[in-house]
Structure 1
Amino acid sequence: MKVTAKIVANLTDKGRLKAISTVCLNGEFLITGVRIVDCEKGLGVFMPSRRNNNEEYRDICFPITPLLHKTIKEAVLEAYQNQPAQADESD
């Protein structure tokens, strides 16, 4: 599966949240709102989530296989690390 990622918001001065990414699968399915967060073990990639009635956050989409999870994470982190140093901050 071809996975591409693009950083749509660079938030390096916003605390632990570092950026927001969009991920495209096979040029046919787009996932928006993928977050890059600075965690204790390094940068983490988190899928979009929504708060439910119990005030808990639940992912609204997620990879089922470990291979796809790894591929998405690698594509997002590569896009984050290869972005221009002066990337504009977006909403």
Structure 2
Amino acid sequence: MTRPNFVKLTEDQVRARKRRNVAIALGLVGFIVLVFIVTVVNLQRNTEARKAAEAAALATVERADPALPAPVAPAPEAPVAEPAQ
């Protein structure tokens, strides 16, 4: 069985290949960062919209029947104490 004849790349070709690989890697990382940022922004926007919708729903319930007990507002989050060292 004979060995195939491989093409030997010149130094310029090897450097060009490395530059292309780095450019592709940077483009891929940039795309991943862009998708992450868009996802985080959408999550924040949806969270704010949900809070507004819940507040509107509570206000609607309060107006609809004043005989209902007042809705329980969520307790404010207490600051987290750091452990003593």
Give the number of the structure whose residues are more often strand, by fraction: 1
Q: TM-score range by the shorter chain?
A: under 0.3
Report the TM-score when normalising by structure 1: 0.25
Max radius of gyration: which structure? 2
